[in-house]
Structures are given as structure tokens and as C-alpha cells.
């Protein structure tokens, strides 16, 4: 499969699934754009790609950064073919030991930022009859203990995917989510999971 001439934007491209996705698309010849907060990690990913991606440093929780991401892609390439909404965070805790601050952090990153970026990207994706891929989780389909806000956010992302898919079907823009199970990345450690628990998990 060749993606030569296709412009692919990947959020959370500095590590984990986002980094692996960038490597794969670059191997397939795409013009890849990776975003993330950590410039050093983005640079490391870029160096591993078969075709050097465009790096746009930014935080998807900051509205001005999100606007800049889209503007930079269009300024550089004049179009967008694929949007991969991958950026996400995880935090542990259930209804007895979490709070609204955690809920807001998780939903702002995993749902609100996706809504915002997709909203800005859609006019360009309609022009190219492009694709949107939302990186969800198995926990969006099946509940998992001690991950309340995360599970809720991924269920919301799946419903967002279904709704936007219906909205854009007549315009020939495909919208899908992928729901991986446990993937060995730094996500869980960053979410505060102790090392022994992570190994068992």
C-alpha cells in the first residue's frame, strides 16, 4: 500500500502508538506531520522515520496550539488526507478515590482536544475525501476497574467516532476508531501505575 502524496497528521507522535504510526506511514511514503509537547522525543521519532516528518510542537489542550497545528499543515502542504487522533492520557482511580480535577484532565485531553482538532480539520478532509482514525481503547467497549475517567473518555471517543462518521459519510470521509488492548508504552507509567503492578498488568 502506498501513501505517496498523502498528508498524514498524527497527534501524540512523540511516543508509543503515535510514534509507531508515524514510522509506518513514513515507510509507506506519506508526508507525515507529528505533534506533541516534547520536542526532544519528537526529534528522536523523526530520526527513525524512513521519510523525515514535519514536527509541530504543541499541546492539544491549548486551543491556540491546536489552531497552529492545522494552520501549519495547510501552509506546508496545502491539504490534509489523514488525521490520526492519538494523543491521550490515562489516570488510575475509581469513583471513591478520584475527583473532578482528574476527570477534567482526562476528558480535556482524550475527548475535548479531539473534538476541537477534528472540527478544524474537517473542511480540509472533505476536500481530499480523507480519513479520520481515532485511537480509542478496549476500555471504551468494556469496563475496567480503577480506570473510571479513562474508560468514560474512551467510550465518549467511540461515540464521537460513530456520530462524526454519520455526519461525514455523504461527503466520502471515513471515520473509524481502533480499540487496542494493553500495548507496551510509557502511557501507564506516566499515569502513575507502580512498576510491579505494570508488569502484572
| Residue of 116, 110, 108 lying closest to 139 (CA atoms) | 110
pLDDT along the chain (201 residues), means of 10: 95 96 97 97 97 98 98 98 97 96 98 98 98 97 95 98 98 98 69 71 64
Neighbour-count burial of 149, counting CB atoms closer than 10 A to its CB (0-12 exposed, 13-18 middle, 19+ buried): buried
Query: Are the C-beta atoms of residues 50 and 124 closer than 8 Å to each other?
Result: no
DSSP class per residue in 31-64:
EEEEEES-HHHHHHHHHHSSSPPEEEE--TTSHH
CA dist., res. 50 & res. 111, Å (int) = 31
Nearest to 104 by CA among 146, 152, 68: 152
| C-alpha distance from residue 152 to each of 20, 94, 106, 172 (Å) | 25, 11, 9, 29
Give residue 185's pLDDT.
63
What pLDDT was estimated at residue 189? 64
Question: Do residues 82 and 7 make contact, with C-beta atoms less than 8 angstroms apart?
Answer: yes
Residue with cell string 480535556: 108
Q: Tell me yes or no: is domain 7-200 CATH 3.20.20.70.
A: no
Pairing, β 31-36 against β 131-135: unpaired
For residue 185, give the C-alpha cell.
Answer: 508504552
pTM for this prediction: 0.92
List of long-range contacts for 139-144, beta carbons under 8 Å, 24+ apart: 140/177, 140/179, 141/179
Every domain of the chain and the residues it spans: 7-200
The secondary structure of residue 147, as a DSSP letter, is B
Q: Provide the β-strand partners of residue 82.
A: 8, 131
By annotation, the residues acting in catalysis are 150
Amino acid at each position: 500500500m502506498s501513501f505517496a502524496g498523502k498528508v498524514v497528521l498524527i497527534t501524540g507522535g512523540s511516543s508509543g502508538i503515535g510514534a509507531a504510526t508515524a514510522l509506518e506511514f513514513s515507510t509507506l511514503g506519506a508526508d507525515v506531520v507529528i505533534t506533541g509537547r516534547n520536542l526532544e522525543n519528537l526529534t528522536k521519532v523523526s530520526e527513525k522515520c524512513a521519510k523525515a516528518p514535519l514536527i509541530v510542537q504543541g499541546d492539544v489542550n491549548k486551543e491556540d496550539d491546536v489552531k497552529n497545528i492545522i494552520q501549519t499543515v495547510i501552509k506546508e502542504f496545502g491539504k490534509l488526507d489523514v488525521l490520526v487522533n492519538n494523543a491521550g492520557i490515562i489516570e488510575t482511580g475509581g469513583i471513591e478515590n478520584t475527583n473532578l480535577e482528574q476527570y477534567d484532565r482526562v476528558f480535556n485531553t482524550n475527548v475535548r482536544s479531539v473534538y476541537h482538532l477534528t472540527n478544524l480539520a474537517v473542511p480540509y478532509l472533505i476536500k481530499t475525501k480523507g480519513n479520520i482514525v481515532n485511537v480509542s481503547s478496549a476500555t471504551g467497549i468494556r469496563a475496567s476497574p480503577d480506570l473510571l475517567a479513562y474508560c468514560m473518555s474512551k467510550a465518549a471517543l467511540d461515540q464521537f467516532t460513530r456520530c462524526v462518521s454519520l455526519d461525514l459519510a455523504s461527503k466520502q470521509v471515513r471515520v473509524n476508531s481502533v480499540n487496542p488492548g494493553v500495548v507496551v508504552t510509557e502511557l501507564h507509567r506516566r499515569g502513575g501505575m507502580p512498576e510491579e503492578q505494570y508488569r502484572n498488568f
